[in-house]
């Protein structure tokens, strides 16, 4: 561990989704003791930071993103003693832990909301967004919601409360009421809670939908483009006070602490220009943001279930713009997948014949960009999407609600199911594949969501000793970032932007230039980069095929990726 202020530029983050990682007591649900047993696996992989998805007490309506107590541990996951033990085990191995901070909303079972809901005179009434029915409409009637906003999990973003006759806002599930950040008491309570975790020893926060905390208090209706509900996002994404709130949080929580903390804000809809402001170190907001552009390129205007083929040209153009836009000021985070996204190799690679090659290619391309890379559990094994047979196989509230409402609205059940298979968040949430045993080494009991049957072939036990494995390749890209300053600090230059199958770029730092070449196709393809023959004779520092004879031109095999290095 280094305390250099930019340590996270040389770091790789590993995301754990605790529910699906390792179950120590056979109840079918992953837990903290399960993670403790696997800390050496993470150390062997070589990652620097672990981001834990929420482990706080929660009714689990959205698998922990609905928090009912910010300063304790969900009993299903363990207790604070287990947490402290995990923290020590991680720190002892030179790694750090970043907590998930979910403060756009709480659970409806959080005492703050229980108070707030108790009536219009409650001292905490104003901690959430309460509004009367739309003017001229009877409270509780269909369409009488205060605004026309849709929720991310289907249906209106407002829930009617019969006892007061008012509605509360929930951008996500009705069990996730939005906190009112206009109220300074709310902000104070959140900052105090954050300091409590830092004092306990955690090393930073991944901030859930943090660009949604500032809403336009006028709450205007949104445009209706698909269906009957409006898109309120222009009024709650990167709202009027967002920079003020993040600067205040920085001053109240992070200032004066040792410079080893990492902050990353999850920001759906954030633009490059906004991201520069959020991540400019001089502005003291967050270290980096998760943007969503590259995970939206394979969706149409109706949203994530509106499937479109992904074109490599679009992917390169998008990631290339983010590289260029944050080159001078700010910093990128880099990810292919997480607990909300389909599996990387199934979406961006080839999870059939070239699964191993394409999983290694994706690691190479992502980790060689300028920014901090994130690995989602199982990605380092090349885990794939799951073969969900029918609607009953899904567990995620987003998938379950979408299936129900889309079918009720008259959509063809088979097409709804087809979209779920490709896009459901449950693809990421099947249990971590540790070994070939019936519970995949995840659990000795009945897992809360079915294990992917391909765990008999794709699992950690089969890969950890194998130098040709996807796991070994992830070890190599992580080690390269640690050893080669050009990976962390080099300039990024995109090459061949118009080539439909080759992803090529250079990284340049002091006397070193790296060239990254990747063939995103199942056919051999030439990579006609400038100074091609000189590069073919340069040092090959990383590849995903057994090294062949150097040739005068660079011809890449199916899903081949190479990293070359030259020194001046
Ligand atoms: O996700 C926010 C978010 O907008 C998406 O990633 C969301 O899951 C997706 O767009 C739905 O289509 C964060 C968390 O990562 C997610 O797990 C939570 O469900 C959500 O916030 C609410 O806390
Ligand atoms: Ca358990």
CA of 208 to the centre of ligand 1 (A): 8
pTM of the model: 0.98
- Counting ligands in written order, the one closest to the CA of 431 is 2
CA of 234 to the centre of ligand 1 (A): 17
The CA-based angle 242-114-122, given to 5 degrees, is 80
What is the torsional sign of CA 38, 40, 45, 48?
Answer: positive
CA of 153 to the centre of ligand 1 (A): 9
CB 340 near ligand 1, within 6 Å: yes
What are the tokens at 2?
């280094």
What are the tokens at 25?
């007591």
CB 152 near ligand 1, within 6 Å: yes
- Of ligand 1's listed atoms, the one at least distance from the Cα of 104 is 23
Identify the residue whose C-alpha is closest to ligand 1 atom 23.
Answer: 65
CB 102 near ligand 1, within 6 Å: yes
CA of 243 to the centre of ligand 1 (A): 21
What are the tokens at 68?
């009912």
Taking a C-beta distance cutoff of 8 angstroms, is the pair 434, 34 a contact? no
Identify the residue whose C-alpha is closest to ligand 1 atom 14.
Answer: 208
Report which of 352, 348, 340, 350 is spatially closest to residue 376, judged by C-alpha positions.
Answer: 340
pLDDT less than 70: residues of the chain: 1-3, 548-552
Q: Which residues are catalytic?
A: 208, 266
Report which of 479, 489, 496 is spatially closest to residue 514, judged by C-alpha positions.
Answer: 489
CB 268 near ligand 1, within 6 Å: yes
Q: Which residues lie across from 96 on neighbouring strands?
A: 49
CA distances from 498 to 78, 316, 323, 461 (A): 52, 9, 17, 41
CB 290 near ligand 1, within 6 Å: no
Taking a C-beta distance cutoff of 8 angstroms, is the pair 56, 105 a contact? no
């Amino acid at each position: 561990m280094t305390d250099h202020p930019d340590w996270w530029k040389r770091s790789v983050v590993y995301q754990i989704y605790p529910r699906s990682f390792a179950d120590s007591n056979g109840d079918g649900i992953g837990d903290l003791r399960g993670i403790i047993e696997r800390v050496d696996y993470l150390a062997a992989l070589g990652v620097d930071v672990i981001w834990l998805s929420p482990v706080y007490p929660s009714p689990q309506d959205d698998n922990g993103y609905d928090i009912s107590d910010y300063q304790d541990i969900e009993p299903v996951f363990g207790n604070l003693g287990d947490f402290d033990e995990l923290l020590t085990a991680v720190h002892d191995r030179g790694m750090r832990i970043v907590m998930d901070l979910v403060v756009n909303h709480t659970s409806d079972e959080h005492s703050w909301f229980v108070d707030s809901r108790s009536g219009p005179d409650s001292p905490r009434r104003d901690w959430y967004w309460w509004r009367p029915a739309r003017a001229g409409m009877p409270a509780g009637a269909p369409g009488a919601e205060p605004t026309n906003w849709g929720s991310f999990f289907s249906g209106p973003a407002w829930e009617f409360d019969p006892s007061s006759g008012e509605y509360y806002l929930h951008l996500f599930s009705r069990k996730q009421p939005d906190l009112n950040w206009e109220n300074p008491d709310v902000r104070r309570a959140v900052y105090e809670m954050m300091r409590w975790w830092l004092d306990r020893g955690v090393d930073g926060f991944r901030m859930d939908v943090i660009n949604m905390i500032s809403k336009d208090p006028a709450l205007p209706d949104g445009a209706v483009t698909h269906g009957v509900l409006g898109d309120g996002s222009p009024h709650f994404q990167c709202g009027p006070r967002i920079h003020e709130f993040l600067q205040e949080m920085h001053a109240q929580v992070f200032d004066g602490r040792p410079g080893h903390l990492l902050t990353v804000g999850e920001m759906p809809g954030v633009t490059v220009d906004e991201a520069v402001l959020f991540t400019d170190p001089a502005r003291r907001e967050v270290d980096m943001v998760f943007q969503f552009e590259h995970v939206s390129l394979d969706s149409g205007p109706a949203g994530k279930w509106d499937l479109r083929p992904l074109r490599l040209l679009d992917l390169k153009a998008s990631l290339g713009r983010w590289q260029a836009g944050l080159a001078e000021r700010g910093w990128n985070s880099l990810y292919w997948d997480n607990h909300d996204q389909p599996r990387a190799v199934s979406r961006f690679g080839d999870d059939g014949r070239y699964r191993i090659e394409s999983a290694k290619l994706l690691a190479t391309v992502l980790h060689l960009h300028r920014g901090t890379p994130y690995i989602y559990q199982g990605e380092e094994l090349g885990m794939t999407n799951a073969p969900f047979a029918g609607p009953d196989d899904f567990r995620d509230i987003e998938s379950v609600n979408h299936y129900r409402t889309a079918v009720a609205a008259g959509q063809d059940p088979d097409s709804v199911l087809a979209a779920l298979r490709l896009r459901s968040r449950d693809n990421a949430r099947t249990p971590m594949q540790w070994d070939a045993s019936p519970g995949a080494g995840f659990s000795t009991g009945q897992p809360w969501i079915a294990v992917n049957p391909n765990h008999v072939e794709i699992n950690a036990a089969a890969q950890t000793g194998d130098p040709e494995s996807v796991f070994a390749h992830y070890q190599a890209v992580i080690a390269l970032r640690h050893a080669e300053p050009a990976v962390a600090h080099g300039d990024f230059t995109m090459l061949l932007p118009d080539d439909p199958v080759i992803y090529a770029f250079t990284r340049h730092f002091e006397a070193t230039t790296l060239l990254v070449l990747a063939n995103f196709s199942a056919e051999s393809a030439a990579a006609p980069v400038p100074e091609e023959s000189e590069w073919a004779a340069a040092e090959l520092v990383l590849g995903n095929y057994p090294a062949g004879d150097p040739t005068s031109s660079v011809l890449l095999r199916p899903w081949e990726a190479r990293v070359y290095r030259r020194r001046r």
